[in-house]
Amino acid sequence: MTNRAVQLSVQHISLSFGRVQALSDVSFDVYEGEILAIIGPNGAGKTSLLNCISHFYRPDEGRILFEGHDLTRTPPHQIAKLGIARTFQNLALYTGMTTLDNIMAARHIHMKSGMLDCIIYWGRAHREDLEHRRVVEEIIDFLELAPVRKAIVGALPYGLRKRVELARALALEPRLLLLDEPMTGMNQEEKEDMARYILDAHELRNLTIVLIEHDMGLVMDIADRVIVLDFGRKIAEGTPDEIRHNPDVIRAYLGTEEGILW
């Protein structure tokens, strides 16, 4: 990764909620075009870290740089415009709307037509709407969502809703994609499909991906590098093979230094 540019730099991030220290002096870099996995036991601070990157939380100390922009000083509504999108551990979809409408909603940051354009719909606003729909239809085809494009999202099976959320994130046309447990609650077949979609998006759309996931077998298969958190501290960083044999990681997961993980 040393021949790639640093796209995201997390520098000495600390975060607390009262007396609970969620993150403590966490630092790492994310390189352009890589898949970086963040793992750790429950309560290790993984989602809190993603929330700091996307500015749902503001860290107590440290800073986070994305392509030169200090995210800790960037208003949350500007994060997507910089080229960062994310999915959530708990689904955050418009459950009363269709799959198509959910994905179209993500296109708002790319809309440029003003009020006058919208009043005179058959001009610029119409052309822009057609272009947004073209992008959304490509994503629907890419994620094989055509059979449910007009279905109400709240009525879809859980695995399909997870796929719709990924589609909505891709509709933002990000350069950095943050995935918070995208395969939680899925059966094995659904996990394999989601892994394929993530890898295809990474390759075909030239995305940098930061992934939180509890399925360690899957993490070890698709990640270029892995960071391990435990009680809010980074205890290891390296390739999947290095992490698999790291005694600190084994101790954090199993309470012993014996054995090899995954």
Q: How far is CA 28 from the centre of its chain?
A: 17
Question: Is residue 111 scored above 80 in pLDDT?
Answer: no
In this prediction, what percent of the chain has a pLDDT beyond 90?
66
Ordered domains of the chain (ranges, CATH): 1-83+174-262 (3.40.50.300), 95-172 (no CATH)
For residue 107, pLDDT over 90 is answered with no
Global pTM value: 0.88
Cα 87-88-93 angle, rounded to 5 deg: 80
**Structural tokens at position 214:** 């509890």
Indicate if the pLDDT at residue 116 is higher than 50: no
HEC string of 126-185?
A: HHHHHHHHHHHHHHHHHCCCHHHCCCEHHHCCHHHHHHHHHHHHHHCCCCEEEEECCCCC
Percentage of the chain modeled with pLDDT above 70: 89
Q: Is the pLDDT of residue 223 over 60?
A: yes
Question: Does the structure show a pLDDT above 50 at 8?
Answer: yes
Mean pLDDT, rounded, for 148-177? 94
- Summarize pLDDT for 233-256 with one digit per residue, the tens: 999 999 999 998 899 998 887 666
* Distances 17 to 143, 168, 185 between C-alpha atoms, Å: 38, 30, 28
CB 162 within 8 A of CB 145: no
Half-sphere CA count of 30, side-chain side, radius 13 A: 29
Q: Give the model's pLDDT for residue 17.
A: 95
pLDDT at 77: 81
Per-residue model confidence (pLDDT) at position 214: 86
